Amino acid sequence: MTNEIEQIPVALTVNGEKVSKLIEPRLSLVDFLRNELELTGSHIGCEHGVCGACTVRVNGEIVRGCLMLAVQANGGEVETIEGASDSGKIDDLQKAFHERNALQCGFCTPGMLMTTTELLATNPDPSREEIREYLSGNYCRCTGYEAIVDAIETVAQERKGA
């Protein structure tokens, strides 16, 4: 037995760039992004959809990169932390996280930021309880969450005032 696995072609847009690759069907989206495209900002924490470290945006929706196969994103649009960061549209979030020290080791942070963009897009004025509830799919072992909640609250208020 040699375990040879047939590779299939995928073509998609990642952070605005068109990419096409030949991949194994079993490849998860996050493995594809990290290993094939070297977009290492999306992290792998559990590989079973619990911790949220691999959160990315696919066709406008945030998803767990470990629960979706790369082939399922074929023809779609994917945004990762690298794209979101370079675009400048999360500058205020990054600044608030930095100033409030809403990250320590930073491993959960890209997923946390991706989830937060979705939260503030759907609920621009969340209460602390709503923020905490929304972040329940993103684990952080370092901060204890309070600083993250503070940073998000700050950005929501700033955006409201802007």
Partner 1 sequence: MPDTKSMIKDHVLDRPNSYIGRSVPRPNAKRLLAGRGTFTDDVKLPRLTHVAFLRSTYAHAEIVSIDVSEAKESEGVVAVVTGPEMAEVCSPWVGVLTHLEGLKSAPQHALAVKKASWQGEPVVAVVANTRAQAEDAIELIDIEWKELPVVADMETALDPETPLIHPELGDNLAWQRDLDAGDVDTAFANADHVIEETYISNRHTGVCLETRGIVADYNPGEDQLTIYHSTQAPHMMQSLFAKHLNIEEHKVRVICKDVGGSYGIKVHSYPDEYATVALAYMLKRPVKFIADRLESFTSDIHARDHRVKTKVAVSNEGEIQAFEIDDLTGIGPYSVYPRTSGIEANQVVNLTGGQYTNPNYRARAQVVLQNKSPMCQYRAVGHPILTLITEGMVDDAARKIGMDPLEIRRKNLVPDDAYPTTAPSGLPFENLSHHASLYKLVEMMDYDGLRKDQAEAREQGIYRGIGLATFIEVTNPGPAFYGVGGAPISAQDGATMRLDAKGNVIVEIGVTEQGQGAEAVVAQCAATALGVSMDKIKVIAGDTDITPYGGGTWGSRAAGIGGEAAVQAGKALRQNIVEVAGIMLQCDPSTLDIRENNVVDLADGNERMALAEVGRVCYYRPDTLPKDYQSELVVTRHYVPKQFPFAFTNGVQGCYLEVDTNTGFITFKKYVVVEDCGTVINPLLVDEQVRGGVIQGLGGALYEECLYSDEGQFLNGTMADYLVPMAAEMPDVEVGHVESPTLDSELGAKGAGEAGTGGAPAVVMNALNDALEPLGGKVTIQPFTPERILQAIGKI
Near partner 1 by CB under 8 A: residue from 29, 68, 147, 156: 147
CA distance 136 to 131: 9
- Which CB sits closer to partner 1, 125 or 133? 133
SS (H, E, C) 126-150: CCHHHHHHHHHHCCCCCCCCHHHHH
34 binds partner 1 (CB under 8 A): yes
51 binds partner 1 (CB under 8 A): yes
Instruction: With residue 55 as reference, give the H or E element that holds it.
Output: strand 55-58
Question: How many CA atoms lie less than 13 Å away from 116 in the CB half-sphere?
Answer: 30
Q: Please, which residues have CB within 8 angstroms of residue 159's CB and are 6 or more apart in sequence?
A: 92, 120, 124
Give 156's strand partners: none
16 binds partner 1 (CB under 8 A): no
Return the sign of the alpha-carbon dihedral for residues 83, 89, 90, 92.
Answer: positive
Least spacing, CB of residue 145 vs partner 1, in Å = 4
Near partner 1 by CB under 8 A: residue from 8, 85, 92, 118: 85
- Which CB sits closer to partner 1, 86 or 158? 86
- Which CB sits closer to partner 1, 53 or 120? 53
The residue range among 6-14, 44-52, 57-65, 154-162 that interacts with partner 1, by the rule CB under 8 A, is 44-52
Per-residue CA distances from 61 to 42, 55, 115, 141, 150 (Å): 16, 10, 10, 25, 24
140 binds partner 1 (CB under 8 A): yes
Which residues contact partner 1 by CB under 8 A? Answer: 1-5, 24, 26, 34, 38-48, 50-51, 53, 80-82, 85-86, 94, 97-99, 101, 103-110, 113, 128-129, 131-133, 135-136, 138-149
